[in-house]
Structure 1
Amino acid sequence: MKQIQDAYIVAATRTPIGRSHKGFFRNYRPDDLLAQTLKNALAQVPGLDPASIEDIICGCAIPEAQQGLNVARIAAVLAGLPTSVGGITVNRFCASGLSAVQMAADRIRVGEADVMIAAGVESMSMVPMMGNAPSLSPSIFARDGDVGIAYGMGLTAEKVAQQWKVSREAQDAFALASHQKALAAQAAGAFADEITPIEVTDRALNLATGEIALNTRMVSLDEGARPDTSLEGLAKLRTVFAARGSVTAGNSSQTSDGAGALILASESAIQRYGLTPLARFVSFASKGVPPAIMGIGPIEAIPAALRYAGLRQQDIDWYELNEAFAAQSLAVINTLGLDPSKVNPMGGAIALGHPLGATGAIRAATVVHALRRNKLKYGMVTMCVGMGQGAAGIFESV
């Protein structure tokens, strides 16, 4: 039997996150975007032999249409990787990208691989949130306890806000802070380590001449953070999921497009190819919760990931808690007693965006680079997951 070995992250990058439908990636196919992200990750490890990559595991929440047909394998081919490199697409909704990291790490830890790529991609511009033809089994409506699986995410946030007594004012204040932290981090250049700029081409039709003008530009920052956000403006937004609710577009995550990729390696591969480890993958946990209040998932997943790692909550220096909604983020923070100064220090999905299946890989890249930049030891990526789950992964800077 092979001895359990450590899995290290040796490269971590992501695209900027674009607003869906009107943002800079609205016409960028997700398979092409993922292929470019794979190339960008490989560029960070020039000494690595691409033929040594055992497999690519890619998370995608709605793996159909332009991001269907096993987008992981398609992107590997588009990226010019050797045909010997496999690819598999996995789906745990919002935790798909983080699950990809966990699965890649586990292959290394049990000795089945020395080099793996974990990634995530989502185009919410091209593929709608529930897919093109969603179809739920009528059986889930037979029992009251099951019907929550059919709730829209916004409605689950309303139920969390009610049950955990999270006020509209608290949600809006949390949303404002997310934008302010994101803008401050952008101004300080804090995202430069994790983001590889992407070239996009805009097309505009000249009605007078019938010609199509092409404008190519590099994008290097997430475009969701808004400097004009204010408590007054947020307070004016109407609720969109419940008539007497408190959840609005302003205190919810933004629908987005983006991709992220991490390269993981064993210690022997690091020595063989002269690689520099950035972080060690420590532990992962996924837990189920009632679907109607899916936002509380991290309340169960965080303690489990800490237990598996032999760590305490106070040992974590940096939390990337995906801000699906301000209501569920505050419920998690307040229930577990997380230190707010350690949670999303550079803003979260309310300001930066949430490209579903890509978010776990994107936020993992954030944690890996933030730990090194700030000389911190342990970081965590955690999120709630649609239909009632929570996930959490821990990383250690090395």
Structure 2
Amino acid sequence: MAGKRASDGAAASNPYNSLFADILTSVISVTALFIGANIIRKRLDPAFESKKELERRRKELEERLRKQRSSCGRPPLDLSDLTPNEEVVAHYLVDPDELDVQSLDDVGGLEEIKEELRELVILPFHRPELFPPGSLLQPPKGILLYGPPGTGKTMLAKALAAESKACFLAISPATLLSKWVGETQQLTRAVFSLAYKIQPCIIFIDEIDALFRTRSAQDHEVYRDFKAEMMQLWDGLTTDSSAQVLVLGATNRPWDVDTAIQRRMPRSFLVDLPGVEQRKRILDVILRSDRHRLEASTEELAKLTEGYSGSDLRELCRAAALLVLRDAMREAKKCGVDVSQVQLRSMRLEDFERAMERVAPTGAHAEIFRYRQTLERVRKLRVAQENSNVESREPDEQTLVAGIEEALLVEANEFVERVGRRLG
């Protein structure tokens, strides 16, 4: 009897065991199917892995814009409806709080240009009611900054975005040009549609001549279509007078920019090499937060640095500061202490003179300046020779000196005339 009851109990429990086995098999099958589908999906969609990253970036962007707009008294934005192309373009948005400049005052010199940019960009963004649609006060939708390398064009654009509290969308040829058919036009449309959604926005195109060079018969069809699409969307900004979107370009070669693009940038500013007064202001800005004390006056230093651009001056100050640190390290080694225990001495004029031997002015204008310096040295050499006993030299030495002088003069004069004509 006992054996029969055990057999009946085992038979009764068999249906539950079978049901549990079926459920377990189903779970394993569904899990395997899910994993397999994901693997296939990743194989078919290379962008699958980046979609989660794009979603994370979208949330970060939404939070960042919320803080930025709340600080300016603007309503929050809902970015949940961003298209995939807009999410790609949003990757190139720069947070104004993360820029290395926070206002136009952080840019030394260029006072007239900064004042005009405040009136053309910042004031319309902050007080749009002062610029009614259809009035003569309507600000331009395109501005071009041009000039030699290192004069502060990019820094000026960053400072403009930071002070205006506008979104700063920095794009380049790599941002828009794609090898896939039709994707370039889609990304171009996404730039402007995103700018509309997050306005006020500054679309900054550095080295704009590389993206919008003068058209020629050899241009590829994709490039021509891209440029036509860009200009059509740009024209939409001019017809929509309420749009707070500005296209800001910077270039070292304005003569290479397509004339149709130049027409859409009615205001242009020459950011040239700084004069003495501007160099003094730039040096004041560079050295104001440095822990090194300065014995020499910035006015005296500005007079010594003719031909230097803003970036050249920054590099010059860095080189001079390194000379001070080098002396401190030598002193520490001599005394057998750590360099952090040595008091850094003040920066002297001699430090900058030594640094100028390592940091020369750059750019075409600086090349002209260097050749003019060569001309001046040759002239001084000739005057010195005329005042000395030239006859005491050997004939071969006199011929060699005269030949070097003549070659320097011819080369310098030709270079100044050639580059001067090109730069206007």
TM-score over 0.5 for the alignment?
no
Q: Which structure is higher in strand share? A: 1
TM range (shorter): under 0.3
Larger Rg belongs to:
2
Higher helix share: 2
TM-score normalised per structure 2? 0.22
Q: TM-score, normalised by structure 1?
A: 0.23
